Structure formats: C-alpha cells, structure tokens
Amino acid sequence: MADTTAQPSRSRDLDKLLLRPGHLVGPNFEPGPELRDDLKEYAKVLVVGAGGLGCELLKDLALSGFRNLEVIDMDRIEVSNLNRQFLFRFEDVGKPKAEVAAKRVMDRISGVNIVPHFCRIEDKELEFYNDFSIIVLGLDSIEARSYINAVACSFLEYDSDDNPREETIKPMVDGGTEGFKGHARIIMPGVTPCFECTIWLFPPQVKFPLCTLAETPRTAAHCIEYAHLIKWDEAHSGKSFDPDNPEHMQWVYSEAVKRAELFGILGVTYSLTQGVVKNIIPAIASTNAIISAACALETLKIVSACSKTLSNYLTYNGVEGLHTKVTEFVKDKDCLVCGPGILIELDTSVTLKKFIDLLEDHPKLLLSRASVTHRGKNLYMQGPPVLEEMTRSNLDMPLCDLMDKIPKDIVHVTGIAGKGDKKQSCLRKLRVVFKGIDGVTDMDTAGGA
C-alpha cells in the first residue's frame, strides 16, 4: 500500500499567522491563502548590509515567506568575518559579500530570488529605493543609517494640513548589535520617530566592528584602527603593539594619516589615535541571530498586518543574564528629515547655480557639493562626470523654469553636510516656494522647517 502520509508544509508555522484571524492583528489584516501568496509574489524587501546581521536577515526573511529580496553591500569578505557571518566560507575571501550571501541563501532555500548589489548605497538613484515594499537595515554605522533614513523620508508627502499621506510612507526596520547588546526598531516616516529624531540615542562613535575597517573606511577612527590592527602586523611580523609606547602610537598615527588621505577622510589626529586604539567591539553571532529574528518578525507584521507592530524601539542586553525592553519614543515634530521639509522662498529669477550656493550658507543645511533632483529629473548632478556634463547647462537657467514654473513643490538635494571634520553625505527634502506666482505671498522662511 502506498504511503499516503501527508508531508508537513514548509510554511506550516507561517500559515498559523497568515491564514487565521486573531485578537492582536492590524486593522487591515485579511487572513487567507491569498495573503500568503501575495507575500511571496508582490512583497519586495531590500536588505541593506550583508555582514553579520545582514546574513541572518537574508536567511530569516527567506524562511518567513518573502520570495523577492535584494541586498546591497559595498564590502568584500575578509577572513575576520568567517567566525560569525555564517554564509561565507574560506574560499569566499575577497569576493563581494552581497553576491556570495545571495547565492548561498538561494542554494539552500528553494523558490527565493535574491538580487545582489555590490556598490555603495549612495550609488543608487532614489527611485531604486522607492521600488521596495519595505527596507530592512543591517548596518554598523550611523552615517549609513542616516543616509537610508533620509532616502526613505524623501518619499514622504504631506497633505495641506501637514498630515503624512499613508500611501507615501516607506517603512523601515532597523537592527543593530554591539557585543552582547542590540536593538530592533521600526520606522514609519511621518508617524513614528525616524532615525534623525532619536540620533541622540547614539553616543559619539569611537568603537567599530572589525569587519568595517579593512575595505572602505568611512571615518577617521576606521583609518586609525586599520593602521593599528591590520597594518601593524603586516609591517612588524608579529611584534606586539604596545599602546603605552609613544613610538608605537606615533607609527599608527602616521599610517592612519596616509590611509585617511588616500580615501579623502578628515579628522585623524594624534589625540584621537590615542583614544580609539583600545576600543574595538567584539561581534557576537548569537546577538546577531536574536536581533535578526526580531527584525524579520517586525517586517512580516508590517507587510501582512498579521499582528500589531513594535512600539517602537526594542533593546536587548545579554551581558549579564537576559534583559529586553520596549520603549515608545515620540516623533520630533521639527525634524528636518521626516518633517514636511525645509521651506525655502525664492525669486523666480534665481538660477540653479545661485540656489546651490544658497544651500551652502543655509544655517540648517550647510550643504556643499549639492546635486539637485525634481520629480525624478536630474537638474544638476555633481557626479559621475558624464552626468555632471549633461546637466551643467542647467546651472545658468532659472530654477523656476527648470521646475516648469510650478509655484511650490518638493526638491531633493544630496551633498555633504556639516562643518570641519564633522561632514557626512546626506539627502534633504526642500519645500521650494517662488514668490509672486499664482498668489504666493512673501513669507519669513529664514528658519522655517
């Protein structure tokens, strides 16, 4: 007699969430096979980062019913990654993390399609990010989080009463780990606090995971730790580094300066070198797994409405025992990133070049090397050279004409914000108003937001 025992479905546990009603579901939850199938066919998820947390996220999301995933990461695999980034093997050293991680998950989980992107997050156009249902962050730097946060918030539109339009909200789930500590949070731009609203949660970044140092440094501290942890061993054949030896410290400082100059990074000083050489944070595989699980679950809840979401910031501490806590932070109504946008009033005669110059002097922007887009059209791009040449002729044209004489509209600008050695890439949303068109009156907007 043939064996007629039914094999358990791989989505059995997922079916319990998606096929049945419940008391904790969201207001738009409609249980049934259609929801499960729509999740597989239509939900597109972008994972930003393919390191320790990113590897876990790709695996968890693929096993949670998502079939259309993409991952972006600019780093290559290092030997130091192998103890916790479980998708990588020794033979993968030197290969792009995004490509190897995508292939390995697809090899193990049938039916999932993961598109890798081996590039910087700034290299992608805004519309690339707008194509996803939700963005999940597995990053290890404040600067990268700020950039993606600004990108997601740039899609947000407000109605005449300054209430966010629901259809323009781009959800994000952000995870982060630091040794035995971690966090998971949801960001619904315009509704919950965005990353910039709670930037004060993060102390000055003087410690970094090892995996960020070897490839593309982003800060002065990365350059210092590269000289301390990697270059020292290469140059001194196993000789121990003594942080109390002035000659050793001077050598690290000199090498860090060279690396900073190579990558155009400012801020390497001898005193900073002394302050950061002892501050490397261990990356713990179990912490990555715990935080990834929380992020994957929140992603599923947001996309399917199968349960109420986190409100809105979860912290995990496994240093002594186990402690988790959920804190509901409040949105900053004056936030420059997730708010309606900085209001700028202009004469109709102001050229695009003059507008770009004004951004550099604006007290709330301090934006240099700005690129400008309007409704997906590149008005002026600082790079690459071919785009700069194509848009250069627009610089002498009135911005009003380039915006088709629309009295007031949203303009997106990207560039370098800040002063001195505290500069970073950013994206800002501006509400541009032209005086004297269709009844637009003079307004005091010098400090408006």
Is 211 annotated in the active site? Answer: yes
E strands present in 108-257:
113-118, 134-137, 172-178, 181-187
Q: Round to whole Å and give the CA distance between 393 and 222.
A: 39
Q: Which residues of 201-222 are buried (b: 16+ CB within 10 A; e: fewer)?
A: eeeeeeebbbbbbbeebbbbbb
Q: Please return the burial class of 71, using the count of CB atoms within 10 Å of its CB with bins 0-12, 13-18 and 19+.
A: buried
From the list 159, 156, 158, the residue with the least C-alpha distance to 187 is 156
From the list 107, 79, 123, 110, the residue with the least C-alpha distance to 11 is 110
Q: Round to whole Å and give the CA distance between 444 and 449.
A: 11
Q: Round to whole Å and give the CA distance between 150 and 155.
A: 9
Sheet containing 342-346, strands listed edge to edge, beginning at the edge strand earlier in sequence: 342-346, 424-434, 408-417, 367-374, 377-380
From the list 358, 364, 427, the residue with the least C-alpha distance to 154 is 427
Alpha helices in 64-187 (DSSP H): 97-108, 126-130, 142-154
- Looking at 55, 197, 211, 426, which residue is catalytic? 211
Q: Round to whole Å and give the CA distance between 107 and 259.
A: 38
Report strand pairing: 367-374 vs 408-417.
antiparallel
From the list 362, 389, 384, 391, the residue with the least C-alpha distance to 449 is 362
Q: Round to whole Å and give the CA distance between 258 and 255.
A: 5
One-letter identity of residue 59: K
E strands present in 375-435:
377-380, 408-417, 424-434
Give catalytic residue positions.
211
